[in-house]
Structure 1
Amino acid sequence: MGFRCWLYNKTGINLYKSKNKDKKFNQFKRQLFLIKLIFDWNIRKKIELNKVKKILLLRQDRIGDMIITTPLIRNLHNNGYKVSVISTKDSIEFIKSNPYIDKTFIWNWGWSYTELFKKILLIRKEKFDLAIDLREQLEPKTILFNILTGSKRLVGFNKSNFFSFDVSINYNNPKNHITMKMKAIMDSVFNLNNDSLEYDAFVSKMIDEKGKNYIDNLRKNNKKIVVINPFASLRERDMSLEQLADITKTLQSDYNNLEVVLIGEQSLLNTIPDTVGIHKYSSHSILDVIPIIKYCDLVISVDTAAVHLASAFNKKIVGLYGLFFWDVRFQKLKWQYFNSSALPKNFKIENYLHFNEYAWSPKTSNKSIQIFSQQGELINTIPPRLIIEGIKNILN
């Protein structure tokens, strides 16, 4: 067998054949190639659940992703497993009061490879029986970390080309709600077929009472409380000041029985001009706004984290979504080049890279509505008139 054939059989990556001149994609190929060649030498083994006690969830994502993971955490805990989580700082802050979690570890996307290996050594000391990679994305740094956690078994989504993953769950239905990924794990790995997929959101008694008292003080004469979250985790997904001004002005003029509360990062709230009758809730972290959402009547949000939180408390929801793409060409090259075996014939990467009415919809039995931008546009391009119509449909 020639050297080129051996490389291809070992890694699934043909570095010689590709003529793609995309610098970013070629860098991705080289990094992934080296990771597979040097580290991906595992012989897949069957998961014996009777030998699994300690589980590490690899959730290197944002707060919204952590919220939709809480049903998996709860169900694993309730079935006798000790569950630990590694995630970004804000996401770890969100689960700080979650009673179903054993240990937490902070992930930093800015780590150098030296820092990454230091964290790997720390994780390996825990001797986890099973690690679960909850991300479909292919990033060399997370793939390397996940392969080297030292867990006895490794599970992931659409990772069949990595020998280090003992189980690769084929998941490629963009019309499923995002929580169905959690169900896929519970069903296919743990045989937990009938467990609840409801979200959890825990805070201390002090934080809960502070938020409740704030809302109660606004509820004079049985007023309704409308919470608006105009900011997302990425500035491209923010509501514009013009949209916010039109919405709040209309709510104030057309309804005399409600109060409007703005939530979000304090530095961003400070950029919004003070308006009579519009309240800004001072918060230091995501934990502070949980009771505000819990005790209000309607949540209007551009951020899926707030939509998920509102769903956890079965609130009325107006969710705003931008149908813009995340570097579609690069993502499509990654998927087709390396992970094609996990893709259906009619696969469209666009369905995976933007929000749609299925995957990220509000998960509530209460009234809710989703409002989308035009294809390829940002949230701040949605006409305020459409947003106001949606809000009135919910309020009326």
Structure 2
Amino acid sequence: MNSFIGKVKYLNRKRNLATTRLKIRLRMISHDNYMRKKTLLRPSEIKTIIIMMIGKGIGDAIVMTGLIKVLHDYGYRVSVIAEARNSVILQHLPFVEHFYLFKNNHEDQLMLSAIKQEEYDLLIDIENIDHHSLTRLNIIKYCSPEHTLGINQFARIYDTSLNHPKSRQHVSARHIAVAHALQLPVNTIDYFVDVNEQSMHDAQAFAKQHGNQKIIVINPYGTEETRNMSFAQINTLCALCNDTFNAKPFIIGLQSQIAQIPDDGRHIRFSLPDFEQAAAIVKLADVVISTDTSIVHLCRAFNKKLVCIYNNKISLNGEDNNTLWGPDYDNAVQLLSPGKRVDETSAVEIFNAASHLLIS
């Protein structure tokens, strides 16, 4: 009976995803009235590039730092248009010439006019068709770059659309595909996150105050409820860390979320509120345990020992999230929950993986 119910739920999810994709495509078709003559992609003639990141989170921004750095290293002047939540990663990145803040309100007019005046040689939209596609399409129309490069796009506004297969590939594979389209000999992408000196000092002072011999960081909450650890998991993990390594783990995350965790003396809530300070404590950590992909990508940027727990999510475009947004580096251990929830994963299994990393 349970197997039958599971099959019905799976088919319903598939149908709902297909319906959503169809609705988005129909809306795009109704707005696809861009009549400018297409241009050819000529890498040797490109000097200025703008990358568009609309509707993307901090994890997406961290992954994007790799492509930005590659383009910069090969002599391109790279700018980015993104939302406020990504400014902490991208705004002061040394490889970004201009950071344009997208607010999705009337204030954007001046910002879009500034982009248009720059007359960018190439605009890159690396995302598949999604809920934000119409917004991105309208931005491209207004900014009118010399050439527009997209991924798996059908709208005429894209001069070049790379046919990126929906097979089991990490998201960085499409970044490499963009580099190859520009004739760059790139086969790997490494992320880059800079943490300022003050944030590092604050995190070091916090860690020293609590005197742990090992710095164990736990990020128990994701952006969706199904990515959250349970209180029982958190308590068991913390107890095992105390008993085995005489270390109270630092719990990081949104202050509103981690405040829900009972203060039972087994852990330490990381009370410094800024993302940069959280990034600093991750950089100092001996091992990190995370359910959230933004911290996973941050750990890859720092090459930290990591245990990450994924819940077998399928994206809007039918891609396997475990692979698409996986850690994809040697120092990481990826655990997959038995079902669709992180809290189904054994806390002992998570601890054993972290313990192995700590003593290796």
Other-structure match for 1:8: none
Does the alignment pair 1:226 with 2:221? no
- 2:289 corresponding residue in structure 1: 300
Cα distance in 1 between the residues matched to 2:344 and 2:100: 38
> TM-score normalised to the size of structure 1?
0.78
Q: Secondary structure of 2:85's match? A: helix
- Going from structure 1 to structure 2, the CA distance change for 1:374 and 1:143 (only over 3 Å counts) comes to farther
Report how far residue 216 of structure 1 moved.
4.2
Which one of 356, 361, 364 corresponds to residue 329 of structure 2?
364
Q: Secondary structure of 1:211's partner?
A: helix
Looking at structure 2, the residues matched to 309 and 381 of structure 1 have their Cα atoms a distance apart, in angstroms, of 25
Separation in 2 of the partners of 1:183 and 1:120?
28
Q: CA deviation at 1:122?
A: 4.5
Shift of 1:155: 0.3
Aligned residues: 340
Which consecutive segments of 4 or more residues in structure 1 shift more than 6 A? 114-118
Q: Which moved more, 1:50-59 or 1:384-393?
A: 384-393
Aligned to 1:31: 27
Greater shift in the superposed pair: 382-391 or 131-140? 382-391
Report the TM-score when normalising by structure 2. Answer: 0.85
2:289 maps to a residue whose letter is I
Between the aligned partners of 1:100 and 1:131, the Cα distance in structure 2 is 16
Cα distance between partner residues in 1 of 2:193 and 2:35: 39
SS at match of 2:97: coil
Pick aligned residue for 1:167 from 146, 151, 160: 160
> Do the aligned partners of residues 91 and 392 (structure 1) sit closer, same or farther apart at CA in structure 2, a change above 3 Å counting?
same
8 Å contact from structure 1 (residues 43, 164) kept in 2: no
Which of 65, 68, 72 pairs up with 1:70? 65
**CA contact under 8 A between 2:176 and 2:188: conserved in structure 1?**
no
Paired position in structure 1 for 2:321: 355
Q: Which residue does 2:13 correspond to in 1?
A: none
Q: Deviations over 1:227-253 (max 9, x none)?
A: 001122333322222221121122212
Contact 2:129–2:152 under 8 Å retained in 1: no
**Identity over the aligned pairs, expressed in percent?**
24
1:137 matched residue in structure 2: 129
Taking only aligned residues, the RMSD between alpha carbons, in angstroms, comes to 2.6
Check 1:147–1:242 CA distance in 2 against 1; reply closer, same or farther (3 A cut): farther
CA distance change for structure 1 residues 283 and 129 in 2, over 3 Å: closer, same or farther?
farther
Deviations 1:136-165 (A, max 9, x none): 133322233234321111001011x22221
Query: Where does residue 35 of structure 2 map in the other structure?
Result: 41
1:192–1:216 distance in 2 versus 1, CA, 3 Å: farther
Q: How far off its partner does 1:302 sit?
A: 0.5
Q: 1:388 aligned to 2:354?
A: no
Partner in structure 2 of residue 177 of structure 1: 170
- Describe the SS at the equivalent of 2:233: helix
Q: Which residue matches 1:311?
A: 300
Residues 215 and 296 in structure 1, CA contact (< 8 A), matched pair in contact too: no
Residue type of the partner of 1:199? Y
State the secondary structure of the residue aligned to 2:149: strand
1:218 to partner: Cα distance: 4.4
Higher mean alpha-carbon deviation, 385-394 vs 59-68, is at 385-394
**1:81-100 alignment runs, 5 A limit:** 81-100=76-95
Find the counterpart in structure 2 of residue 3 from structure 1. Answer: none
Q: Which amino acid aligns with 2:321?
A: F
| Distance change in 2, residues 1:325/1:25 (3 Å) | closer
Deviation at 1:126, TM superposition (A): 2.9
> Aligned pair in 2 of structure 1 residues 120, 193: CA closer, same or farther (>3 Å)?
same
Q: Tell me the residue number matched to 2:10.
A: none
Contact 1:264/1:283, CA 8 A, preserved across alignment:
no
**Matched-pair contact (CA < 8 Å) for 2:150–2:161:** yes
SS of equivalent to 2:96:
coil
